[in-house]
A and B are shown apart, each in its own frame.
Chain A
Amino acid sequence: MASLASPLPRTSPRRYAADTWPAGPAARWGLRVALALPFVAVALLSRAAGWVPAANEALADRGALVQWGDSGLSWIASVFPPLSAALSALLGGSTLAMSLLAAAVLGFTLQRLAAVLVREGLGPWATAAVVGTLVLTPPLYYLASNDLVSLLGVALLVLALDGIAAFVEQRSTEAGFRAGLALGVAVMLDPGAWLYALTLAAVAPFFARRAGRSGRRANEATVAVLLFPAVAAVGFWLYASWWFSADPLGGMEAATPAGWLPGGAGASAAEALRQIALALLAAPLVLVASTVRAVRDPWSLIAPGIALVGLYLSLWLGLREAAGQTWIVLTALYVLLLAPRNPRPRRRVAIVVAAVAQVAIGWLVVLTSGGTLGVWARAVLGG
């Protein structure tokens, strides 16, 4: 009798996607839950310590402007970026719910990052050590407990960069599709995301050929497919804001916590540079890997370069507060774009050592500096 099973086409030889490790669904979900739980616990501790999450409070205020089903929509411009405002409104403006949602998102994101490391053949110890730099240090916990918007922005950036890396290295159109969509959603969630999109547009022609996209108009086409969702989303939002509200750009102007170019253009530029330099110094994994790449294969630094420039611009313009975000993004960049493929045992040991050093530096910086992150960490730890 003929088989009734579908002869699903066989996959060509390729490494599995980042969202399919561990292979078993139960193990995959178990890992996600295990990775999310510490963030739930810290969120509860943070709340119990009486810490006021300023960014989430601001998000709750923005979410309160949303009036579901309203046909006036005069408030529409004020809620930019709208998806995060809508999310806040759906969560009832509860900062605890925001933290719990952040923990859930982190469960998925960290599982995906771990899967990328497994896919790259780092081995269990190096994988655990690299993921440990994120889950054993305070910055990510701070972000999860205090700033849902930035955290979602980082998660979508992870998705987009993973997509761009596959788009370039594996010449995967699907990955470009994914990256474009992730950026499109990100610009509606995170006020700083469009800077990543713009940086991407600026450098896309440089990697189009490497992605196997050569020929007449290949550069414009590459820019178009990566950026269209973001441009369309912002364009449509401006149209709706123009139609319904008196001040269509009001929401964008209010998107910066401390105003645009805090302290002036020059001072803000210098401060942004200092923040990134400090974050790099505190991330030996990134520093070492990017130095190696710069020597061996400078082209492979394009995607991390996009993120770094986007990060710099958002800090310079005042769209993002440093508070550990730069460090988190850099570590994510390491996982997605800089980690070596199938390293030899000696190099794995070096990765483990660098990761341990990064964890130690992470704690040292947090506990010895007087920044927001340090104050929060001491409050949560009861210090």
Chain B
Amino acid sequence: MGDHLVDRGLVSKATLDAAERVAAESGAYIGQVLIALGALDSASLTRALADLWGLPYVVPTRITEALDAGGADVGRVLAEQWLPLERRGDGTLVVAVVDEPTPERRAAIAGALGEEPFLVLADRWDFQQAVLDRYGSDLRERASLGLWGRSPAQSARTVLVPWQRVALVVALVVVVLAAVADLRAVVVTLSVVVGLAFLVGTGFKFWASLRGARMEHVTRTDPAELAALPDHELPRYTVLVPVYKEANIVANLIGNLGALDYPAHLLEVLILVEEDDAETRAAAEAAHPPAHFRFITVPAGAPQTKPKACNVGLEFATGEYLVIYDAEDKPEPDQLKKAVLAFRQAGEELVCVQAALNYFNADENPLTRMFTLEYSFWFDYMLPGLEYGKLAIPLGGTSNHFRVSGLRRLGGWDPYNVTEDADLGIRASAEGLRVGVIDSTTYEEANTSYPNFVRQRSRWIKGYMQTTLVHLRQPFRLVRVAGLRQTLSFLFLVGGTPATFLAVPLLYAVFLASLLLDPQQLSFLFPGWVLWLSLFNLGVGSALMIYVSMMGAFKRRRYGLVLWGLANPAYWLLHSVAAYKALWQLVTKPHYWEKTAHGLTGVAAAAHVPTTVRG
């Protein structure tokens, strides 16, 4: 192969020798190495291979006429990597392949089509684009309705299943009738419900954080083992980067993801661009991404959501493992290798590992400070605590690393769930699989704008509501498969979070009233134990949540943020605004994706990643 390339004048002998050394050390194909080194482009390599294997070379995207070939559906085309292109004048079916046409492969294709095809060789990336061109509507269908089609109960496409609707109506009727009969009793009962929800939600978070704090001295990845990991033992890795209307920042991802310490020939970065977003695609192409960065056009159509784009990306993923990053993400360079080690040390039941998220623009304004406090607590204490207890982990928006086989087994992401990541983490637990965490951080851009924050947070909270409703559709099955502990932790965390934020204004109103009124004037609403519960929530619950957020910042050595923890009550009020918006949207437009604008920061990522954790 190498000599053939030299003979054709595509590479020099010296370059070939260098590439052969890398290939020998890494176990990779010489062609992959040459492309990764930038010595050869993919199309030239494919032409040379076609010449070597005696096949005609084609650019399949040039053939646009529709072709009805029985036995070739998009699933098979992608899995087996052959694509019927056209019929020749003599009626022979022309089929594009991307790999060497061994006799076995020829026979398999002929068997599937029911006729002997004429094989041509196509470049892998052109092949993918041709599949998108020909099967765009099928892909959209699979990405949108795949999960719903195979298991409607796991999809948020339907907000409430019939029994949930009945239960909701019955509950509302009971509340109204009870209010007519005894309004005070209803208000007191609601106070108790709100108080208990707050108590359980905050209590669980504090308990999990305490357990997470104990993991501080735990080394998840042995540095020596990481350093000794040879390239030839690394698997192929797919990076999905869904982007939409992000022309202003998309070029950054090339620098950020280009810094990953992973052999380029084993890495494929799939930039998922929506069909109607030519601007972002143009901006990304203008940044001249390296050879292993490729674009996948996500077919237009509802729902236009990130999980749908990811499902399309999953169809084309060829990696053994896969990770999702946002365009502005700056992962620590060794993150992929740490994930590989984590998967290898675990059994097949570990389907995903989540890296910690934190912010590079923490000090930009009060909102980014609060966001950073929250994330430090969540990813450094809360999630490790959940992992320690082997409890369900709702995944964060990016830096979720998957075992591709397990992800496909789970059915990919739910495009109708607006926190598809959290839903997937819970679904994994509900299926008896497990999600873990790794000690690596991805730095992101914290939201700098208050309206943008409310939009983003309302989506997250709505997603938690959707996820709660979805996984409670079959509560007995959930308990049976996932276990009671997993079920309760899911309820306390995913169900408890929106409930807590919905309860905040009521608790604050009572606190303000207490400053103005005598206890006797409020006693009709807070008789006896109800008052004790409310006081406990106000004093102990709030203080504990403030404390864990302070500790999170302290652990991250962001000392300037620690006292900002005292501003949490105001931050929670902002969450509460988002929670009520989320509740309203759950009723009016449950699948609407509130797009978060990125690129609003005036801070450069590289300059503000803490030096203690910079790779």
Q: Which of B511-536 contact A (CB under 8 A)?
A: 514, 519-520, 523, 526-529, 531-532, 535
B243 contacts the other chain (CB 8 A): no
Find out whether the CB atom of A232 lies under 8 angstroms from the CB atom of B547.
yes
Q: Are A71 and B523 in contact (CB under 8 A)?
A: yes
CB distance from B525 to the nearest CB of A (A): 10
Q: Is the CB of A217 within 8 A of B347?
A: no
Q: How far is the CA of A8 from the CA of B559 in the complex (A)?
A: 30
- B514 neighbours in A (Cβ, 8 Å): 243
Contact A224 B550 (CB under 8 A): yes
Kindly supply a per-residue 1/0 record for chain B positions 535-562, scoring 1 wherever the CB is within 8 Å of any chain A CB and 0 otherwise.
Answer: 1001110010011001101110101101
**Chain A residues whose C-beta falls within 8 Å of the C-beta of B226 in the assembled complex:** none
**Residue pair A225, B560 in contact (C-beta under 8 Å):** no
Chain A residues, CB < 8 A from B551: 173, 176-177, 225
Contact A7–B345 (Cβ < 8 Å):
yes
Mark the stretch among B210-218, B292-300, B317-325 that contacts chain A: B210-218
Q: A71-B519, A225-B562, A243-B519 are in contact. Are A5 and B347 (CB under 8 A)?
A: yes
Task: Tell me, yes or no, whether A236 is within 8 Å of chain B by CB.
Answer: yes
Chain A contacts with B in 146-189, Cβ cutoff 8 A? 170, 172-174, 176-177, 180-181
Min distance, Cβ A228 to any Cβ of chain B, angstroms: 6
* Contact, CB under 8 Å: B390 / A6: yes
Complex contacts, B210 vs chain A, CB 8 Å: 177
Contacts of A217 in B (CB 8 A): 559-560, 562-563
Do A12 and B345 contact each other (CB < 8 Å), given the known contacts A7-B350, A180-B547, A215-B559?
Answer: no
**Per-position contact with B for A1-22: 1 when CB-CB < 8 Å, else 0?**
0111111111110100000000
B588 contacts A by Cβ under 8 Å: no
What 1/0 mask marks residues of chain A from 250 to 278 whose CB sits below 8 Å from any chain B CB? 00000000000000000000000000000
Q: Does A50 interact with chain B (Cβ within 8 Å)? A: no
A2 to B: closest C-beta gap in Å: 4
Q: How far does the alpha carbon of A362 sit from the alpha carbon of B460 in the complex, in Å?
A: 63
Q: Which residue on chain A has the smallest CB distance to residue B526? A: A71
The answer to whether residues A2 and B348 also contact, given A71-B526, A229-B547, A236-B539 and a CB cut-off of 8 A, is yes
Q: Which residues of A contact B215 (CB under 8 A)?
A: 9
Q: At the interface, yes or no: B346 with Cβ under 8 Å from chain A?
A: yes
Q: How far is the CA of A72 from the CA of B538 in the complex (A)?
A: 17
Q: Is there contact, CB below 8 Å, between A233 and B562?
A: no
The answer for the CA separation of A162 and B41 in the assembled complex, in Å, is 62
B192 to chain A, nearest CB (A): 13
Interface string of A238-251 (1 = CB under 8 A from B): 01100110000000
User: Does B220 belong to the interface (CB within 8 Å)?
Assistant: yes
Select which of A10, A174, A220 is within 8 A of B559 by beta carbon: A220
Contacts of A222 in B (CB 8 A): 554
A213 to B555, CA, bound (A): 10
Q: A11-B218, A71-B528 are in contact. Are A240 and B535 (CB under 8 A)?
A: yes
**A4 CB contacts on chain B under 8 angstroms:** 347, 349
Write out, one digit per residue, whether chain B residues 188-227 have a CB within 8 A of any chain A CB (1) or not (0).
0000000000000000000000100111111110100000
Q: Does B134 contact A (CB under 8 A)?
A: no
Cβ proximity bits A344-375 to B, threshold 8 Å, 1 near / 0 not: 00000000000000000000000000000000
Closest partner residue, chain B, to A11 (CB atom): B218
Residue B434 interfacial (CB < 8 Å): yes
Using known A-B contacts A71-B526, A177-B210, determine if residue A225 contacts B550 with beta carbons closer than 8 Å.
Answer: yes
> Are B547 and A7 in contact, CB atoms less than 8 angstroms apart?
no
Q: Are A173 and B562 in contact (CB under 8 A)?
A: no
Given A7-B346, A173-B554, A232-B543, A73 contacting B531 (CB threshold 8 A): yes
* Contact indicator per residue, chain B 118-133, by CB within 8 Å of chain A (1) or not (0): 0000000000000000
Docked Cα-Cα span, A176 to B527, in Å, equals 38
For B538, what are the chain A residues with a Cβ–Cβ distance below 8 Å? 236
Bound CA–CA A71/B521 (angstroms):
11
B380 to chain A, nearest CB (A): 9
In the complex, chain B residues whose CB is within 8 Å of the CB of A229 = 543, 547
Given contacts A12-B219, A72-B523, 13 further A-B contacts (CB under 8 A): A4-B347, A9-B220, A71-B527, A73-B531, A173-B554, A215-B559, A220-B562, A224-B563, A228-B565, A236-B538, A239-B539, A240-B535, A244-B519
B219: A residues at CB distance < 8 A = 9-12
Shortest distance from the beta carbon of A75 to any chain B beta carbon, whole Å: 12
Bound: A225/B557 CA distance, A: 12
Q: For A170, what are the chain B residues with a Cβ–Cβ distance below 8 Å?
A: 217
Cα A237 to Cα B529 in complex, Å, equals: 18
Which listed residue, A71, A215, A243, A244, touches B557 by the CB 8 Å rule? A215
Shortest CB distance B171–A (Å)? 28
Q: Can you list 6 residue pairs at the A/B interface with Cβ under 8 Å? A: A174-B213, A174-B214, A177-B551, A180-B547, A243-B514, A243-B519
B217 and A14 form a contact (CB under 8 A): yes
Return B123 CB to nearest CB of chain A, in Å: 36
Tell whether A221 is near chain B: CB-to-CB under 8 Å.
Answer: yes
Provided the pairs A71-B527, A224-B562 are in contact, do residues A176 and B220 lie with their beta carbons within 8 angstroms?
A: no
A95 to chain B, nearest CB (A): 26
CB of B543 within 8 A of CB of A236, answer: yes
Within 8 Å of chain B (Cβ to Cβ): is A202? no
Smallest CB–CB gap between B1 and chain A, Å?
Answer: 36
A64 to B520, CA, bound (A): 23
Q: Does chain B have a CB within 8 A of A218?
A: yes
A12: which B residues are within 8 A, CB to CB? 217-219
B528 touches A70 (CB 8 A): yes
Kindly identify which residue among B217, B342, B540 contacts A11, using a CB–CB cutoff of 8 Å. B217
Closest to B519 in A: A244
Would you call B554 and A176 a contact (CB within 8 A)? yes
Which of A177, A218, A220, A237 is close to B213, meaning CB atoms less than 8 Å apart?
A: A177
CB of A216 closer than 8 Å to a CB of B: yes
A69 at the A/B interface (Cβ < 8 Å)? yes
Question: Given A5-B347, A7-B350, does the pair A173, B213 have CB atoms closer than 8 Å?
Answer: yes
Residue of B nearest to A178 (CB): B213
Within 1-46 of A, Cβ neighbours of B (below 8 Å) are at 2-12, 14
Q: Which residue of A lies closest to B557 (CB)?
A: A215
Is the CB–CB distance between A225 and B535 below 8 Å? Answer: no
| CB within 8 Å for A9 and B218 given contacts A71-B523, A221-B563 | yes
Whole-angstrom CA separation of A73 from B536 in the bound complex: 14
Per-position contact with B for A73-99: 1 when CB-CB < 8 Å, else 0?
100000000000000000000000000
The docked-state distance in angstroms from the alpha carbon of A280 to that of B390 is 49
Q: Is there an interface contact between B539 and A240, defined as CB atoms closer than 8 Å?
A: yes
**Interfacial chain A residues near B222, Cβ < 8 Å:** 10
Contacts of A73 in B (CB 8 A): 519, 531
Closest to A180 in B: B547
* Interface residue from B388, B529, B563 paired with A220 (Cβ < 8 Å): B563
A9 and B225 CA atoms in complex are apart in Å by 14
Complex: how many Å from CA A221 to CA B535?
28
Find chain A residues with CB under 8 A from B213 CB: 173-174, 177
In angstroms, how far is the closest chain A Cβ from the Cβ of B226?
13
Q: B residues 286-332 with Cβ under 8 Å of A?
A: none
Report the bound CA distance from A4 to B565 in whole Å. Answer: 40
List of A residues within 8 angstroms of B347 by Cβ: 2-5, 7
Q: How far is the CA of A11 from the CA of B222 in the complex (A)?
A: 10
Which parts of B319-362 form the interface with A (CB within 8 Å)? 342, 345-350
Q: Give Cα A10–Cα B215 distance, bound, in whole angstroms.
A: 10
Asked if B554 and A225 sit within 8 Å, CB to CB, the answer is: yes
Bound-state CA distance A136–B410 (Å) is 63
B532 in contact with A69 (CB, 8 Å): yes
Q: Is the beta-carbon distance between B346 and A69 smaller than 8 angstroms? A: no
User: Which residues of A have CB within 8 Å of B348?
Assistant: 2
Most buried by B among A4, A71, A244: A71
A69 is contacted by which of B349, B390, B529 (Cβ under 8 Å)?
B529
Q: A51 CB to closest chain B CB, in angstroms?
A: 36
Q: How far is the CA of A172 from the CA of B555 in the complex (A)?
A: 9
What's the least CB distance linking A247 to chain B, in Å? 15
Contact A233 B519, beta carbon cutoff 8 Å: no
Residue picked from B214, B217, B546, B547, most chain A C-beta under 10 Å = B217
